Amino acid sequence: MKFTRDWLFEHLETDRSLIDILDVLPMLGLEVEVVVDREAKLAPFVIAEVVSARQHPNADKLRVCMVDIGGSDLIQVVCGAPNARAGMKGVFAPVGAYVPGIDLILKNGEIRGEKSNGMLCSEREMEISDDHGGVIELADDAPIGASFSAYAGLDDPMIEIAITPNRADCLGVRGIARDLSAAGYGCLKDIDISPLDGSFNSPISLELSVPPEQEHLCPLVSGRAFTHLKNGASPMWMANRLKAIGQRPISALVDITNYVMVDLGRPLHAYDIDKIDGSKLVISLAKAGQTMTALNEKTYDLDENMLVIGDANGPDDIAGIMGGERTGISENTVSMFLEIAIFDQIAVATTGRKLNIHSDARFRFERGLDMTSPEWSSGYVARMVNNICGGEASHVVTLGPGAKWQREIFLANDKVERLTGMKVPLGRQVEILKALGFTISDSANGWQVSPPPWRGDIDGSADLVEEIARIFGFDHLPMEHLPSKDVIAQPAVNSKQARPLRLRRALAGRGLTEAVTFSFLAQKEAVMFGGGDASLKLVNPISSDLSFMRPSALPNLLSAAARNQDRGESDLAIFEVGPVFLGDEPDQQRTAVAAIRCGSSGPREWHGVRRATDVFDAKADAEVALSVLGVRRSSLQVDPSGPDYFHPGRCGRLLQGRSLLGQFGELHPSVASHFGLRSVVVGFELYLEDVPLSKSRGPARSYLKLSPFQSVSRDFAFVLGDDVPASQLIRAVKSAAGPLISDVQLFDVYQGKNITNGQKSLAVTITLTPQKATLSDPEIEAISDAVIYAAGKNCGAVLRG
């Protein structure tokens, strides 16, 4: 909402400065976004007359002008503008003035031997437009020596404020003035809203033609005809104000409708009577297939849910949104029918959204107008038309029973304090509400309050409290710490919510950097990772790359890796903890933990610890993540299989019993290359929901019984079939060794010389920890024999000779 200082003061009698007002507006809920004060910038520029202009003796394109700025002496200026000539009036910048368009402070100078003490300016040089065709030419009656900005109406600062959706009343300057007056920043001036009778019957009648159940779409409309008008340029004060708020003056009649919309927040619609087909304007729902060319020169397809106003020739106004081109006002208009209506807010919003028209009228209609405005604004507007364009006004025609806006809300005497903690004297509460236009009657322990017709947003007593509180001032709110019920704060996260926090630290501790990537991705990638269901496709994505809800966090991590690789960071280890979507229901959202690594384990270095990343890095990441979640590594089984996006021979599912807890692997080469990744990429992913919360047994650990007897280790090297999984051998060894076994480590894998093709050698070391007595050699021998036997029986393994 834009307006100017003087425009505001048209409605507000005040001795407050603009600075004061700008300070208080945000505290009333009217956030000041921009203030443009051109006065200071243009202060040095004065109106001057060029008394004489002669050819510069040394330059073809320059003239030497003598300029009168109202002082005792004429000033000599060298000017290059083609239009600088004797007798013209223009804008002069004296020596010492800062000229913003050329970013220069003027000095006494000499141009090719002729003195030049100042400058005649173009609009661009003054930064009031881009026009640089010549120096500004003013009317002959422009007062010599006077301030140009005051003369041109450029000394009126423009203010732009953001209006929240509830404050439709402040979409008019008068509403803002009312708020300021209620806050003690002046007095709301009266405006003449008395009826204007008119002198003849309107040649145009109004008719509402909608089914009875739809009559609420237009509860009230008034209209009036004007004849013998003289349309032309609007008066300078009006044109200047419209220009200041960024509107282009068009013609007096059009400008009046625009002016009133900003002035009173009251959109109007004007028809050229001579262009109306017939003598009737009908308000009705459009017929499917009808089209209409609006004032923005675009043609719209209408449908049967859209309220339109039209004549015998069809619709030519989309109610509350935009008028039609066919019956619109032109410079030649002499007869006008002016419609002032109330339309249903929701209907206007729906139609406006469907047609994608964003007009100032729609903005106001869908937020709600003063429900009585078709009555009271009629006379005000008619007088303005007569004053500016002459002519005669007809009697008013009205239609509709009027909107139901009257209501009573009970406000208890203690409500303001109960809700805000702020003590506002009861008298002050009444005063504030009255100043805002509310009517009040006493009631037991409170008041019955009726909101004014322009405050459709007031819904209940909490809204009344807000009105009182904001005008009284939020600065008066007491500051009270929240009462605390615990001396020692309780944890804010439960054991489930604590898991991501711990996981992040554990994974970062393993050298994985945390990433946060988008929850959406491209269809192709969604499908590649098991998603792409139509129910998870965004209807209105910002781009096709971000059109599906992700089924996995891996693809966006891969994209991130590719971006880093392209920046020269090809060794990379990143993870993310975030949502993935198996469906659109709340219970189909999972919290995924995913990580990828690619390139080498670290930077090049001289110790020789650097190595290529492989699938066991991903496996270790997954195992660490699971151990943080309370799953012991020893309780996990690995099933050498996985989804299609992994290398079929280098991936695994981590299982606990029959439950799948996570999966890891080397990304399939075709997947890696789809993302543009040039090296091997490995990764894992698991869903927190799949990993059961470990049952809390309290903080105490189980009793630790340490054996006083020495542990012994024995190594075995087995030769077995290449296709036998190592886990099978370890399991066999472990169970054969019996209860004394405290550890099994596989420490060597060998294929090659001395091992038959299709076979491999696996070496394991077992650690036996006796609990009752030191192990004797025969006991150790017996266990070794059992291990060897079991390895042979279960895995076809033989001890390597």
Partner 1 sequence: MQSLDAVSSEIIDAIAGAVSLDALEAIRVDALGKKGRISLMMRDLGGMDAQSRKEAGQKLNEVKSDISAKIEAKQTTLASVALNTRLVAEKQDVTLPSRPETDARLHPLSRTIEEVIAIFAEMGFKVAEGPDIESDYYNFTALNIPPEHPARQEHDTFYLPADANGKRKVLRTHTSPVQIRAMESQEPPIRIIVPGRTYRSDHDATHSPMFHQCEGLVIGDGIHMGHLKGCLIDFCRAFFGVDDLPVRFRPSYFPFTEPSAEVDIGCTKNNGALKIGAGDDWLEILGSGMVNPRVLKNCGYDPEKYQGFAFGMGIERIAMLKYGIPDLRTFYDSDLRWMRHYGFLPFDTPSIHAGLAGGGV
- What is the CB-side half-sphere exposure of residue 235 using CA atoms within 13 A? 11
- What's the start-to-end Cα distance of the chain, in Å? 92
Cβ neighbours, 10 Å, residue 608:
6
Per the CB < 8 A criterion, the answer to whether 770 and 709 are in contact is yes
In the bound state with partner 1, the residue whose beta carbon lies nearer, of 451 and 642, is 451
Q: Decide if residue 474 touches partner 1 (CB under 8 A).
A: yes
**55 binding partner 1? (CB under 8 A):** no
Q: In sequence order, what E strands does 219-357 have?
A: 220-227, 269-272, 280-285, 291-293, 299-301, 307-311, 314-318, 322-323, 336-342
Site for partner 1 in 585-604 (CB under 8 A): 585-586, 589, 602-603
- State which of residues 513, 635, 659, 754 lies at the interface with partner 1 (CB under 8 A): 513
Residues 535-574 that bind partner 1 (CB under 8 A): 535-543, 546, 549, 557, 560, 563-564, 567, 569, 572-574
Under a CB-based contact definition with an 8 Å cutoff, are residues 619 and 664 in contact?
yes
Q: Is 748 helix (H, G, I), strand (E, B) or coil?
A: strand
Do 579 and 519 touch, CB atoms closer than 8 A? yes
Please state, in angstroms and rounded to a whole number, the distance separating the CA atoms of residues 497 and 112. 81
Q: What share of the chain is helix, strand, coil (3-state, %, to 5)?
A: 30, 30, 40
Q: How far is the CB of 47 from partner 1 (least distance, A)?
A: 37
Piece in contact with partner 1 (CB under 8 A), picked from 185-193, 313-321, 386-394, 469-477: 469-477
Nearer to partner 1, 46 or 595 (CB): 595
Any contact of residue 612 with partner 1 (CB under 8 A)?
no
Judged by CB under 8 A, the residue of 444, 482, 706, 773 near partner 1 is 482
Would you say 121 or 507 has its CB closer to partner 1?
507
Closest separation in Å from C-beta 600 to partner 1: 10
Residues 6 or more apart whose Cβ sits within 8 Å of residue 168 = 265, 364, 367, 368, 369, 454, 456, 457
Residue range at the interface with partner 1 (CB under 8 A); choices 107-115, 191-199, 465-473, 752-760: 465-473
Interface residue with partner 1, options 114, 156, 466, 621 (CB under 8 A): 466
110: burial class by Cβ within 10 Å (0-12, 13-18, 19+)?
exposed
Residue 421 as a binder of partner 1 (CB under 8 A): the answer is yes
For residue 730, how many other CB atoms are within 10 A of its CB?
18
Residues between 645 and 704 with contacts to partner 1, criterion CB under 8 A: none
Question: With binding defined as CB under 8 A, does residue 248 bind partner 1?
Answer: no
- Comparison of 266 and 550: residue with beta carbon closer to partner 1: 550
Residue from 87, 390, 509, 630 touching partner 1 (CB under 8 A): that is 509
d(CA 770, CA 740) in angstroms, rounded, equals 6
User: Considering beta carbons, is residue 481 or 658 the nearer one to partner 1?
Assistant: 481
At residue 464, φ and ψ (nearest 5 deg) are -65, -40
The whole-angstrom separation of Cα 342 and Cα 400 is 10
Among 301, 514, 644, 722, binds partner 1 (CB under 8 A): 514
Q: 354 phi and psi, to 5 degrees?
A: -65, -40
Interface with partner 1 includes 366 (CB under 8 A)? yes
Name every residue whose Cβ is closer than 8 Å to that of residue 538 and which is 6 or more positions away in sequence.
520, 546, 547, 548, 549
Residue 495 binds to partner 1 (criterion: CB under 8 A): no
> In angstroms, rounded to a whole number, what is the distance separating the alpha carbons of residues 550 and 527?
9
Short-list 383, 397, 375, CA closest to 201:
397
Can residue 29 be called a binding residue for partner 1 (CB under 8 A)? yes
Query: 439 and 397 in contact (C-beta within 8 Å)?
Result: no
Pick the closer one to partner 1 by CB: 85 or 470: 470
Contact residue for partner 1 among 6, 16, 18, 27 (CB under 8 A) = 27
Q: Give me the 312-351 binding string for partner 1, x by CB under 8 A, dash otherwise.
A: ---------------------------------xx--xx-
To the nearest whole angstrom, how small is the minimum distance from the Cβ of residue 588 to partner 1? 8
- CB-wise, 339 or 621, nearer to partner 1? 621
Q: How many CB atoms lie within 10 A of CB 60?
A: 6
By three-state DSSP, how is residue 745 classified? strand
Nearer to partner 1, 607 or 753 (CB): 607
Instruction: Give least dist CB 422 to partner 1, A.
Output: 7
Instruction: Supply the minimum distance, in Å, between the C-beta of residue 173 and partner 1.
Output: 19
Stretch that binds partner 1, among 137-145, 427-435, 484-492, 707-715 (CB under 8 A): 484-492
Least distance (Å) from partner 1 to the CB of residue 2?
19
Among 105, 312, 493, 749, binds partner 1 (CB under 8 A): 493
Size of the site for partner 1 (CB under 8 A): 103
Alpha-carbon torsion 521, 527, 533, 534, what sign? positive
Radius of gyration of the chain (CA): 42
19 binds partner 1 (CB under 8 A): no
Which residue in the set 70, 511, 721, 738 belongs to the binding site for partner 1 (CB under 8 A)? 511
What does the per-residue mask of binding to partner 1 show for 124-163, with x meaning CB under 8 A?
----------------------------------------
Rounded Cα distance, 179 and 255, in Å:
26
Amino acid identity of residue 166, one-letter, is N
Q: Which stretch binds partner 1 (CB under 8 A): 146-154, 200-208, 245-253, 517-525?
A: 517-525
CB of 138 to partner 1, least distance (A): 40
From candidates 353, 395, 611, 793, binder to partner 1 by CB under 8 A: 353
Amino acid at 161: I
Tell me: does residue 418 bind partner 1 (CB under 8 A).
yes
Tell me whether residue 29 or residue 379 sits nearer to partner 1 (CB atom): 29
Residue 436 burial (CB < 10 Å; 0-12/13-18/19+)? buried
| Candidate ranges 87-95, 375-383, 532-540, 666-674; the one touching partner 1 (CB under 8 A) | 532-540
In the complex, the smallest distance separating the C-beta of residue 675 from partner 1, rounded to whole angstroms, is 13
In 3D space, the residue among 134, 170, 137, 189 whose CA is nearest the CA of residue 9 turns out to be: 189
Query: What phi and psi values does residue 22 have, to the nearest 5 degrees?
Result: -65, -30
Region of 20-28, 102-110, 187-195, 266-274 interacting with partner 1 (CB under 8 A): 20-28
Q: Which is nearer to partner 1, 272 or 370 (CB)?
A: 370
Decide whether 546 or 786 has the Cβ nearer to partner 1: 546
Among positions 520, 684, 716, 718, the unique one binding partner 1 when judged by CB under 8 A: 520
Q: In the range 159-218, which residues lie near partner 1 by CB under 8 A?
A: 164-167
Q: 377 vs 517, which CB is nearer to partner 1?
A: 517
Closest to partner 1 by CB, 408 or 644: 408
Lookup: tokens for 211? 């089914």
Encoding tokens for residue 301? Answer: 């397809």
Smaller CB distance to partner 1: residue 68 or 571?
571
In the sheet where 314-318 sits, what is the strand order?
Answer: 205-209, 280-285, 307-311, 314-318, 322-323
Residues numbered 434-463 forming contacts with partner 1, rule: CB under 8 A: 459-463
Stretch of 13-21, 135-143, 467-475, 780-788 contacting partner 1, by CB under 8 A: 467-475
As a whole number of angstroms, the distance between CA 732 and CA 468 comes to: 80
**Structure letter (DSSP) for residue 537:** B
Alpha-carbon span 335 to 230, nearest angstrom: 9
Q: How far is the CB of 40 from partner 1 (least distance, A)?
A: 19
Q: Which of 478, 708, 739, 758 binds partner 1 (CB under 8 A)?
A: 478
